[in-house]
Chains A and B, each alone.
Chain A
C-alpha cells in the first residue's frame, strides 16, 4: 500500500500540471515519460480530457482567425496626416543632432 501511494505521488499529476503539459503536448514538446504521465492522468480525469479537446479547438480557431483576417480589418485607431507632419517635424528637429525623439505617454 505504501509503495502504491509512493507510486501515485511520484507519477500522478494535479489537473493544473496536467493542463500545462497539454499545452506543451499541442506543440509536441513532451518527453516520453511526460506523455505517459499525461495519458495516465487523462485516463482518470474527464474534466482534463474535456480541457484538452477545448484547448485544441481554441488553437485551431485562432489559426483560422489569423488566416481569415483581412488587412482592412484594422483597429479603430488612425494614423493621420497630422501624425505624419509631426513625425517629419521631429525628424528635422531632432535627427540632425541624433537627439532623442520626444515620446508620447503610453496607453494604459
Chain B
C-alpha cells in the first residue's frame, strides 16, 4: 500500500526541482513581466504553491510542465490584479497622452503633430522591441498575448476579467504608441 510522502521527502523533491527548473521558470516569468524582482517573487510563489499542492501532482505531465502551469497562473493573477486597479494605474495619463499625441482633442489627426509629418515607419526588430519595452505593463501584456502568442481576444478578456471595450481600448492605445514610437525611430 502506498503512503503519502513525508514533508521531508517533499522538501527533498522540491529542492531538486529548484536546482533543475527554477532558472527556466525565472526566464519564463521575466519574458512576460520584464521585471526581475517580480519574476523572482513569482518563482518563489510558484514553488510554495507546488509544495502545498504536491499531493495534486499526478505525474501525468512532467514536473517542469506542472511548475510552468502554476507559474503561468501566478503571472495571470498578477495582470488580473493590475487590471482591477484604478484606471490611472493601467491607463497612465502620460502614456495615454503620448499614445494619442498625433490626434487633436476632437479625435482628428493633428496636422501640426511632428509624428504625422513622418512617413517612414521603422520595423526593424530591434526598434520594435525597444518600442514595446516602453509600453505600460498591462498594454505590453495585452499586445504580447494577442500578437506574439496569437491568443483570442475573448480569452484574454476572460482571463484578465476586463470587458471587450476595455481590452480594445488598451490595444488601440498600445498600437498608437507603438506606431508613434516606430515613426520616431524611422528617422534616427
Interface residues of A (CB under 8 A from B): 14-17, 19-20, 23-24, 27, 29, 45, 47-48, 51, 54-55, 57-59, 61-63, 65-66, 68, 74-75, 77, 79, 83-84, 87-88, 90-92, 94-96, 98, 100-101, 103-107
Contact = CB atoms under 8 A, between A and B. Distances in A.
A23 B100 CA distance: 15
B36 interface: yes
A56 B70 CA distance: 34
Contacts of B150: 63
B103 A15 contact: yes
B35 A107 contact: yes
Contacts of A15: 103, 107-109
Given A24-B168, A58-B123, A91 B15 contact: yes
A90 B149 CA distance: 33
Nearest to A18: B107
A55 B40 CA distance: 35
A27 B153 contact: yes
Contacts of B178: 58
B22 A83 contact: yes
Given A54-B121, A62-B132, A92-B15, 12 more contacts: A16-B103, A23-B175, A24-B168, A57-B121, A59-B147, A79-B26, A88-B19, A91-B14, A95-B7, A103-B41, A105-B37, A106-B37
